[in-house]
């Protein structure tokens, strides 16, 4: 996994859960560089520890982390990639070709997923995800964070999922303009994703 994703995880933990959680999760972990790639197992271990420290399910944490990564990490580091697209839909249509394609060329040890992204009507896109990492919960988070960056809202339906025995995860996404600009409210997202109790 690309060092950038490790750095983003650390930044996310600090911003969303505080310094104590970030230190607890990352204690003993090597300092990851954005110019290197690292074994996936290191990432899985940090994610597992993050779930324990925050008491969040893996899907909830990955989704929140996806929102943060798109809205903060990617948008801050690669403003030009966002500026050339006028909307979240236009941007998402460039994620596989050229963005992930460029990542694969620049760092052969990184293996971004080969997403099949296609237009879905005038406001939507469909995405097929088949990565063996099975980080499908990260994807809708990235889409929501991207939408938020453009002042839009993404309505996301997961039609098929590898975690439910399907051979691929398929998402249907529709974008709408938000009435005002602002970040994603993590507490609302958690309530939506958490199973009902009692
Ligand atoms: C400027 C924008 C983006 C950049 C620079 C970028 C780059 C990257 C990089 C470096 C990784 C780690 C790859 C690896 O280590 O193998 C990654 C992973 C990933 N990206 Fe992107 N990405 C961007 C936007 C997006 C968006 C908007 C989506 C959603 C449609 C997306 C979907 C994913 C997913 C699901 C992964 C997880 C890896 C896996 O499951 O195998 N990315 N991306």
Percent of the chain with pLDDT over 90: 85
| Those residues with Cβ within 8 angstroms of residue 131's Cβ, 6 or more apart along the chain or in another chain | 111, 113, 114
Asked if pLDDT for residue 196 goes beyond 80, the answer is no
| Those residues with Cβ within 8 angstroms of residue 182's Cβ, 6 or more apart along the chain or in another chain | 148
Cα gap 15→70, rounded to integer Å: 14
Q: What angle do CA 92, 50, 188 make, to 5 degrees?
A: 55
196: CA distance to ligand 1 center in Å? Answer: 31
Domain that holds residue 39: 3-193
Judge if the beta carbon of residue 5 lies within 6 A of ligand 1.
yes
**What pLDDT digit, counting tens, does each position of 30-84 carry?**
999 999 999 999 999 999 999 999 999 999 999 999 999 999 999 999 999 999 9
Decide: 101 and 113 in contact? Cβ < 8 Å.
Answer: no
What number is the average pLDDT over the span 127-138?
A: 96
Q: What angle do CA 190, 192, 198 make, to 5 degrees?
A: 90
Asked if pLDDT for residue 114 goes beyond 80, the answer is yes
Judge if the beta carbon of residue 62 lies within 6 A of ligand 1.
no
Find the CATH number of the domain harbouring 116: 3.90.1520.10
Split at pLDDT 50, 70, 90, the class of 103 is very high
What number is the average pLDDT over the span 96-125?
A: 94
Judge if the beta carbon of residue 110 lies within 6 A of ligand 1.
yes
Q: Whose CA is nearest to atom 6 of ligand 1?
A: 100
pLDDT for res 129:
97
Residue 99 falls inside a structural domain: yes
What is the best residue among 102, 142, 168 to mutate for testing ligand 1's pocket, by most ligand atoms within 8 Å of CB? 142
Cα–Cα nearest to 193, from 129, 134, 144: 144
**How much is the pTM?**
0.91
Residue 134 falls inside a structural domain: yes
Asked if pLDDT for residue 181 goes beyond 60, the answer is no
Residue 198 falls inside a structural domain: no
Considering its fold, how many domains does the chain have in total? 1
Asked if pLDDT for residue 5 goes beyond 70, the answer is yes
Q: Output DSSP code: residue 117.
A: E
């Amino acid at each position: 996994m690309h060092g950038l994703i490790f750095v983003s995880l650390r930044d996310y933990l600090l911003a969303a859960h505080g310094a104590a959680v970030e230190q607890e999760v990352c204690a003993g972990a090597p300092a990851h560089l954005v110019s290197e790639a690292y074994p996936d197992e290191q990432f899985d271990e940090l994610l597992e520890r993050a779930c324990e420290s925050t008491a969040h399910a893996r899907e909830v944490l990955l989704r929140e982390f996806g929102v943060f990564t798109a809205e903060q990490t990617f948008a801050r580091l690669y403003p030009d990639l966002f500026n050339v697209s006028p909307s979240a839909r236009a941007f998402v249509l460039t994620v596989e070709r050229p963005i992930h394609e460029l990542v694969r060329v620049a760092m052969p040890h990184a293996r971004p997923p080969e997403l099949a992204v296609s237009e879905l009507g005038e406001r939507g896109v469909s995405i097929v995800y088949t990565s063996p990492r099975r980080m499908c919960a990260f994807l809708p988070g990235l889409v929501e964070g991207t939408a938020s960056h453009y002042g839009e809202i993404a309505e996301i339906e997961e039609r098929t999922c590898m975690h439910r025995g399907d051979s691929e995860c398929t998402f249907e996404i529709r974008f709408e303009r938000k009435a005002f600009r602002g970040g994603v409210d993590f507490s609302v997202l958690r309530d939506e994703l958490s199973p009902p109790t009692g």
